Structure 1
Amino acid sequence: MSNDKSYIGRCFCGEVQFTVKGEPEAMGYCHCESCRHWSAGPVNAFTLWKPEALEVTQGVDKIGTYNKTPASYRKWCRSCGGHIFTEHPEMGLIDVYAAVIPEFPFEAGVHVNYQEAVLRIKDGVTKMKDVPVEMGGSGETVAE
């Protein structure tokens, strides 16, 4: 991926639109209960970006925020309810959900919180018990 490449994303109804530029810091799948519950799915595909890579181009006034913990500020469109991204201030990153940037060439590099998985994915990608050491986790891997 080229650093000058940009991708357009949007919420479910299109009221909120944004661009991400460059390359994400990481991509993968999160299996934690919190992400599963928020996404209403068995797994969440994430792309982690530095905050300056994200620019909301339309509908900033339509973005709602909820934070269950200080570690995650979850964002959604107040018009349609579509989830769009999560700010992680402690990590200095923003998780832009892979599903809302349709042209982005998502390629998972890791599964995090795999010990909580309810859907086992046998894809040969590293499975972390929690998260990498750099993100405050144990760095332990688990079997696929």
Structure 2
Amino acid sequence: MSDLHSGTCFCGAVEVQVTGAPEAMGYCHCASCRSWSAGPVNAFTLWKPENVKVPRGAEHIGHFRKTDMSDRQFCTQCGGHLMTNHPPLGLIDVYAATIPSIDFKPGVHVNYAETVLPMKDGLPKLKDFPSEFGGSGEAIPE
């Protein structure tokens, strides 16, 4: 896997680059991620902030903060979703679809208790979040 990946919003006005390897990859099933992504599940890649850059179009990035946990970012030109900064975790979720060249290898499902799309893939299914991120860390069956 190359250690530099680039992607853009829907219209191409904003470019996002990530370098190195993500800290984690997986799926989130919470109602907020489902609503924000307009899908039954959201594929995430988590990165340290120093590994995420916006080389073009930063002036077109809008923000929406439903909670202090998540600063969701989108293109103000096309509405395309880009990433979510999670300040309490010290990580940025660059949506897997935003960086199409990444070799997406999910390792976990989070907030699986809220799923509307059961997925039988053998990956760990956490009721909410890992304990190190303030969740219960409780695994639930597929």
Report the TM-score when normalising by structure 1: 0.97
**Structure 1: 5+ residue runs without aligned partners?**
none
Q: Offset of 1:18 from its aligned partner?
A: 1.6
For residue 34 of structure 1, what is the amino acid of its counterpart?
S
Q: Offset of 1:9 from its aligned partner?
A: 1.3
Q: Offset of 1:81 from its aligned partner?
A: 0.3
Work out whether 1:79 is the aligned partner of 2:77. Answer: yes
Q: What's the secondary structure of 1:18's corresponding residue?
A: strand
Q: Offset of 1:114 from its aligned partner?
A: 0.1
Which of 93, 96, 106 does residue 94 from structure 2 map onto?
A: 96
2:43 match: 45
Q: Offset of 1:88 from its aligned partner?
A: 0.2
Counterpart CA distance in 2 for 1:74 and 1:18 is: 14
Which of 56, 59, 69 does residue 57 from structure 2 map onto?
A: 59
Taking only the aligned residue pairs, the percentage that are identical comes to 61
Counterpart CA distance in 2 for 1:18 and 1:138 is: 32
Which of 6, 9, 23 does residue 7 from structure 2 map onto?
A: 9
Counterpart CA distance in 2 for 1:65 and 1:57 is: 18
**Structure 2: 5+ residue runs without aligned partners?**
none
Q: Deviations over 1:22-81 (max 9, x none)?
A: 011110000000000000100000000000000101000000000010110000000000
RMSD, matched Cα: 0.8
1:68 match: 66
Counterpart CA distance in 2 for 1:36 and 1:59 is: 26
For residue 97 of structure 2, what is the amino acid of its counterpart?
A
For residue 48 of structure 2, what is the amino acid of its counterpart?
K
Q: How many residues align?
A: 142
Q: Offset of 1:138 from its aligned partner?
A: 0.4
Which of 29, 32, 35 does residue 33 from structure 2 map onto?
A: 35
Task: Flag as ranges the 4+ runs of structure 1 deviating above 2 A.
Answer: none
